[in-house]
């Protein structure tokens, strides 16, 4: 499945594992003009912790952000407030808590179906352009199906947003990810996905991105992840890249 990280729509494949706990440490960088007159580069350092049970899992992502360029607010395709934001800023991002219910197991006739939800807490400083300063709540299904060695997946999310006054952000948004994966070796699996959704802001383009990613199984309990992103519309960053390491316990 895919894990959506706070603030930058960064996606990493997350294969199912038997361990009851995992932690991920990572960094990602995205840059683009989003249809404005200047580029904005967002660097994100994050820690994710997930506890897994028999029927589901719960996790939390703790990001720290660096923003250079004042064309957009982090996580948006326009400034989320009417006032100006500084050219450079850094600080804690919006903390996200996620939960997943393992609804249906995969069999020959149907995909595995999980029901996922998340809450974005407004821990980032909106005056610094590091977040909107409001809550977001998202929920939707995640589907996974194998055809031989080919892995197919489709994730959908409806996002309900606490819209700030005098803001151009949308109060609802629909996001999706459609992709495939294939094990190239016993240790290395490659993925490709098309990630998009409805516009995050009034007057902005709908985001659409091509994401190429990979997972390298260094050991049974240590996985290395990486991705490259190419934005296909002005609603997305032009480019992105990132890497992380996941430990399973």
Q: Which of 80, 61, 75, 28 lies closest to 227, judged by CA?
A: 28
pLDDT above 60: residue 242: yes
pLDDT tens, position by position, 205-228: 999 999 999 999 999 999 999 999
Residue indicated by tokens 């590091």: 130
And the tokens for 4? 């959506």
Query: For residue 32, what are the domain limits?
Result: 2-248
Q: What is the pLDDT of residue 126?
A: 87
The backbone region for 67, taken as left when phi is positive above 0, alpha when psi lies in -120 to 50, beta otherwise, is beta
Do the beta carbons of residue 153 and residue 146 sit within 8 Å? no
How does strand 11-13 pair with strand 2-4? antiparallel
Q: What is the pLDDT of residue 60?
A: 97
More confident position, 132 or 159: 159
Q: What is the pLDDT of residue 75?
A: 81
Task: Give the CATH number, domain containing residue 84.
Answer: 2.40.128.130
Task: Count the domains in the chain.
Answer: 1
pLDDT above 90: residue 110: yes
Predicted confidence band at 7 (pLDDT cuts at 50, 70, 90)? Answer: very low
pLDDT above 70: residue 125: yes
pTM of the model: 0.89
Q: How far from 175 is each of 4, 61, 139, 147, 209, CA to CA, in Å?
A: 11, 19, 10, 25, 12
Q: What is the pLDDT of residue 1?
A: 44
Whole-angstrom distance, CA of residue 18 vs CA of residue 23: 14
Which 8-state DSSP code applies to residue 169? B
């Amino acid at each position: 499945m895919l894990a959506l990280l706070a603030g930058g729509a960064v996606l990493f494949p997350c294969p199912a594992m038997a361990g009851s706990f995992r932690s991920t440490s990572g960094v990602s960088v995205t840059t683009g003009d989003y249809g404005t007159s200047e580029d904005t580069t967002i660097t994100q350092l994050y820690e994710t912790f997930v506890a897994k049970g028999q029927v589901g899992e719960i996790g939390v992502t703790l990001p720290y952000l660096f923003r250079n360029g004042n064309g957009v607010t982090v996580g948006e395709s326009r400034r989320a407030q009417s006032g100006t934001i500084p050219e450079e800023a850094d600080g804690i991002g919006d903390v996200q808590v996620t939960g997943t219910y393992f609804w249906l197991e995969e069999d020959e006739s149907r995909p595995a179906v999980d029901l996922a939800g998340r809450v974005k807490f407004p821990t980032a400083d909106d005056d610094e352009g590091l977040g909107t300063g409001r809550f977001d709540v998202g929920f939707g299904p995640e589907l996974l199906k194998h055809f031989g060695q080919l892995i197919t997946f489709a994730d959908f999310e409806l996002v309900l947003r606490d819209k700030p006054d005098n803001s151009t952000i949308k109060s609802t948004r629909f996001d999706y990810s459609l992709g495939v994966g294939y094990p190239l070796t016993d240790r290395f699996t490659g993925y490709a996905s098309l990630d998009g959704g409805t516009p995050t802001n009034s007057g902005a383009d709908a985001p659409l991105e091509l994401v190429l990613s990979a997972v390298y199984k260094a050991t049974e309990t240590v996985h290395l992840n990486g991705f490259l992103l190419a934005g296909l519309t002005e609603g997305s960053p032009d480019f992105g890249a990132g890497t992380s390491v996941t430990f399973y316990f």
